[in-house]
Structures are given as structure tokens and as C-alpha cells.
Amino acid sequence: MTFRNQFTETFGIEHPIVCGGMAAVGTADLISAVANAGALGFLSALTQPTPEALAAEIKRCQELTDKPFGVNLTILPTIEPVPYEEYRDVIIASGVKIVETAGSNPAPHLPAFKEAGVKVIHKAVAVRHALKAQSLGVDAVSIDGFECAGHPGDDDIPGLVLIPAAAKALDIPIIASGGFATGSGLVAALALGACAINMGTRFEATAEAPIHQNVKDQIVANDERDTTLVFREFRNTARVARNEVSEQIAKLGAQPGATFADVAHLASGARARQEVLAGGDVNGGMWWASQAQGLIDRVATCQEVIDEIVAEAEQIISRRLPAELASS
């Protein structure tokens, strides 16, 4: 059985599985392995310190795979200005034909991408945001349920409701994101109206992910309860791995009159990259993880992860579901 649908045909990939952009993780090492396994992966543009560094990383990925891959461009307000237009121009000049946008409205960048024949997937956490992205002309939407790592928004709608609600409202392909790590999740997402699944945490726990083995092992050891929500008081809710630092952030944020400045030193991205992802101290900083941790039981290669998910999904559709229906 092969899962060919609107998504795989539109984006030219073998399996309806996506590895979305992950800061400090979405490098050529991981994304080329995802592509070679038949899925669609996204380099993280802003993981590279300059547009020139992104051009070099795209070239490195192109040398490691001849299959399609994309680049994530996350557009957020920053203290130091980010040359988003220069990153965008590098993506186009490098011949990348798929982009994942996230954060702020991608409208300023869409004309240039469209003119260059680049397909755009926009990440959204609510149906109303997905509809807005569709009206702007994006080619697909990745819809993040409340289970996801990162920023799930403030509506707290889990995927079981959000995915079919988005599928009912939208005309373009939908990628289901948040809490996916198994073949049964892929089958469920397809049944709910999505064309593919997006996985982040599952791909962190792979041999090719450029993070310390201690972090990968901690993801395997954790269960579905081992995340916590932070920044809710600042209207910037984030789901992260539960550890000493994230629990301290949550506690400080709950204090009357707290501001982000009170937790900024703990939530530092540089601290997470150096102490956790590179250094292996899983309590050394705040790091991203979804509730899918409860579904991950080993570190494997990207090829193994994707093959197992596809095989499980095929077994459910061809054997388990027919057997269940026949016995009813």
C-alpha cells in the first residue's frame, strides 16, 4: 500500500510525513536523512546566523540528498532586526521550491515566493488563522493541535477537534501537527481529513538529529505528562519539556505582576542550545518537546522511524480495521 494523495502529489514526496522546522535542530544532517527516507523535511533558516550561512547549509543539504526538502522561515518580532528579505532571497536563489512559514503574517514574502515557483506551507494554531493563510494564497496549512511542542496558541483545542474543523473549513491540503509519532496517528490524521502528519519531537529522538544523546534518551524516558506550559501569563503560551528550569519558569510566571523579564534568563534560547542540546544537561535550560514523548520508545534512524510508521499505518488499514469491522 502507498499513501498517495493531494499532499504527496503536490510536494513530490513519497510518504505523507513532514519534519517541520525546528530551531537548532533543523540542519542538513537531519533534514537530508528525512528526505532520503521519503518524507519532507525543513531546514530552519534562522538557525543559521546569516543569510550566507543559510546558503551554505542549503548547499550542504543538496549534496546529501537529491530528494525534495524545504526551508522554514519563522517570522517573529525581535529586539535585533532580522534580515528576513535576505533569508528569503537566499532560499529562492538556492533553488529550494518548498517553504514553511510560521509566526507572523507571511503576506510580504508570498509574491516573491510565488514568482519563483516556490510552494508555501503556513503553520497555524487556529482555523481562523488557517483561513486567513488560505486567502493569502498559501499552498497548504500545517495545523497545530494543543498537544504540540512550541507555541499552541491560547485556544487550547486538541488535534482531535482542530484537525477535522480545519478540514471542513479549508480547500487546500492540511498537515496535522501536534502529538504525532506513530502509524496509528497517521491513520487517525488521514481519517480526520488531513493529508499528512508533521512530527518534531519524534525526529528529535533520531540518530541523525544534531542534539546530545542525553536529550534523545530523556525523550524516550519521558511520558505524555512530561511537558509543561510556560509564558501563558504573557499571552505567548509555549509547551516545553518538564524539567527543573521549565517548572521554575512556570512558578515565577504565576507570581502576581510577573513579566517576561523575570524569566528571560531561564528561557534563553542560547542557554538551551549550549547547555541542553549541545552539552547534554537536560536540566540546564528550557527545551521544546510535545506530548508525543509518551509514544516514543526508542532512538532510531529517520529511515527506521518512517518505515515503521508507514508499515504500522498499512497494517491498521489493511488488517486491523477490516478485522474489527468484520467482528462487529
Span 45-99, pLDDT tens digits: 999 999 999 999 999 999 999 999 999 999 987 778 899 999 999 999 999 999 9
pLDDT tens for residues 234-247?
999 999 999 999 99
pLDDT tens per residue, range 312-323: 999 999 988 887
Cell numbers describing residue 63: 549534496
Q: Give percent above pLDDT 90 in the chain.
A: 93
Mean pLDDT of 141-159: 96
pLDDT at 140: 97
Instruction: Calculate helix-pair angle for 28-36, 51-64, nearest 10 degrees.
Output: 30
Is the confidence at residue 328, as pLDDT, over 70? Answer: no
Q: Average pLDDT over the chain, rounded to whole?
A: 95
Cell readout for 57 is: 547549509
* Strand stretches in the chain, DSSP E: 17-19, 40-44, 70-75, 98-103, 119-124, 140-144, 174-177, 196-198, 227-230, 238-241
What domains can you pick out in the chain, each with its CATH number? 6-211 (3.20.20.70), 227-288 (no CATH)
3-state secondary structure at position 279: coil
The whole-number average pLDDT for the span 132-161 is: 96
Which pLDDT score, from 0 to 100, does residue 163 have? 98
User: Do residues 40 and 19 lie in contact, with contact meaning Cβ atoms separated by under 8 Å?
Assistant: yes
Q: What is the pLDDT of residues 261-273, one digit of tens each?
A: 999 999 999 999 9
Q: How confident is the model at residue 174 (pLDDT cuts 50, 70, 90)?
A: very high
pTM of the model: 0.95
CA–CA dist 72, 53 (Å, integer): 14
Q: What pLDDT, on a 0 to 100 scale, did the predictor assign at position 183? A: 98
